[in-house]
Amino acid sequence: MAKDKKTNTSLSKNKKAFHDYFVDDTFEAGIELFGTEVKSIREGKINLKDSYVSVKTGEAYLIGAHISPYEKGNIFNRDPLRSRRLLLHRREINKLIGLTQQEGYTLIPLEVYLKGSYVKVALGLCRGKKNYDKRDAIAEREAKRKIDRVLKEQSRY
């Protein structure tokens, strides 16, 4: 049975981004990596917690993403925190430059996943949340859990 090339296998998600930001739009980008970095990412050893995307001189860079060194990579391993170029079309980069120049918007990596054999990054165009927004989101999530718990208990009887 042949593998379906359209399947997306999630390798890492940035849960903190959804807590700290409102995600208005998402984009897909490739990422320029070395061989040992790809092997390490396939093992799930990537952390997006404090990372962001910077657009400079017509190119987008992923900054602050930590890719742990590959165990068997010895001399071929790279710096775990180096900036990595994102692979986007020129018109996409121009669009992102225009959107991020608006006040309050930033580009945050939301997820790293495999699409076929390629490593892709889902970028989110985000606005920062205030503390009261975060509290509202937490209260809403807890209320939903409580409702689900009650419904589940009622369905047992």
Q: State which residues form the domain around 33.
A: 9-129
Distance CA 44, CA 79 (A): 17
Would you say residue 16 lies in a domain?
A: yes
What pLDDT score was predicted for residue 1? 44
Q: Is residue 87 very low, low, confident or very high in pLDDT (cuts 50, 70, 90)? A: very high
What pLDDT score was predicted for residue 8? 77
- Cα separations (Å) of 130 from 20, 111, 135, 136? 8, 23, 9, 10
Question: pLDDT tens digit string along 53-66?
Answer: 998 888 999 998 88
Would you say residue 116 lies in a domain?
A: yes
Instruction: Quote the tokens at residue 118.
Output: 């390629």
Indicate the number of domains in the chain: 1
Would you say residue 78 lies in a domain?
A: yes
Q: What is the CATH number of the domain that holds 118?
A: 2.40.280.10
pLDDT at residue 30 greater than cutoff 90: yes
Would you say residue 101 lies in a domain?
A: yes
Q: Is residue 3 very low, low, confident or very high in pLDDT (cuts 50, 70, 90)? A: low
